[in-house]
Amino acid sequence: MTPGSERRRDDPADVEPEVPFPLDEIVLVRWPGDGARRRAAAERGTPRLLLVSEGAPPPRLDPGEDWVRIPADERDLLARMQRLAAEFDRRRWPPRLEADLALRYGGRTVPVSRAEVAVLRPLVARFGELVTWDGLRHQLWPDGGRTFRSMSAQIFRLRARLEPIGLTIYTIRGRGVVLDHDDRPTHLTGAAESPDPPTHTSEETTWLRS
């Protein structure tokens, strides 16, 4: 690499295109009867939905998995698959600040002010992890002068700003805050309507209804 040719980590040229994970690529696993299919999908890093037979105990889940008992309502199935796909995408594309003017996440972007960027920077750097109140206050105001109440009010306003892109700031009482995906149902967040149901083979459809 020649001098001056280095790019910033958030350079758009270095960012993978944000194509949502297709629901019809989620592997449906009949459980407990098909452990080999489950292991093979896990080795490929593909999300798995375990279709648990009636009477079988709930499975212990690994990352990238969810389960539903069959026979299953198609709406329940779709909701589980959407959650799996969203979780998969979150691991691939954490939120990122763009030119300190906007925050991008899940293919959506929201404008942010300079003051909001200052709060977001440590939260984005530790996405999904706790940022303590003391640590946040030290980064924002190293000389002090701000109260907990004013910092909490700033977090409250920022939480509303992030809602349209599917993010929220969770408050851990007495400890700090966590920037993470908003897991509330879409009818409470105003998120976009659900995509069309995925397509699967006739054999897989039989599993769901049997």
Question: Domain ends where: 92, 119, 134?
Answer: 92
Is the same domain home to 166 and 117?
yes
- 36-90, pLDDT tens digit by residue? 999 999 999 999 999 999 999 999 999 899 999 999 899 999 999 998 988 887 7
pLDDT-based confidence at residue 145 (cuts at 50, 70, 90): low
- 94-131, pLDDT tens digit by residue? 899 998 899 998 778 999 999 899 999 999 999 989 99
Percent of the chain that is helix, strand, coil (3-state, to 5): 40, 20, 40
pLDDT-based confidence at residue 174 (cuts at 50, 70, 90): confident
Domain hosting residue 72, numbered range? 23-92
Task: Output the pLDDT for position 70.
Answer: 92
DSSP state for residue 104 in the 8-state scheme? E
Whichever domain contains 84, its CATH number is 3.40.50.2300
DSSP state for residue 164 in the 8-state scheme? G
Alpha helices in the chain (DSSP H): 35-44, 74-92, 114-125, 133-140, 148-162, 186-189, 202-209
Residue 194: inside a domain = no
Residue 13 has pLDDT above 50, yes or no: no
Residue 159 has pLDDT above 60, yes or no: yes
Please count the structural domains in the chain: 2
Task: Output the pLDDT for position 191.
Answer: 39
Residue 200: inside a domain = no
Residue 197: inside a domain = no
Whichever domain contains 142, its CATH number is 1.10.10.10
Is the same domain home to 107 and 156?
yes
Q: Are 52 and 69 in contact (CB under 8 A)?
A: yes
Is the same domain home to 102 and 173?
yes
Is the same domain home to 83 and 32?
yes
Residue 209: inside a domain = no
The burial class, CB within 10 Å (0-12 / 13-18 / 19+), for 154 is: middle
DSSP bridge partners of 96: 104
- 183-205, pLDDT tens digit by residue? 654 433 443 333 344 444 444 44
Is the same domain home to 75 and 27?
yes
Report residue 187 CA to chain centroid gap: 17
Is the same domain home to 100 and 171?
yes
Is the same domain home to 69 and 140?
no
Helix, strand or coil, per DSSP, at residue 108: strand
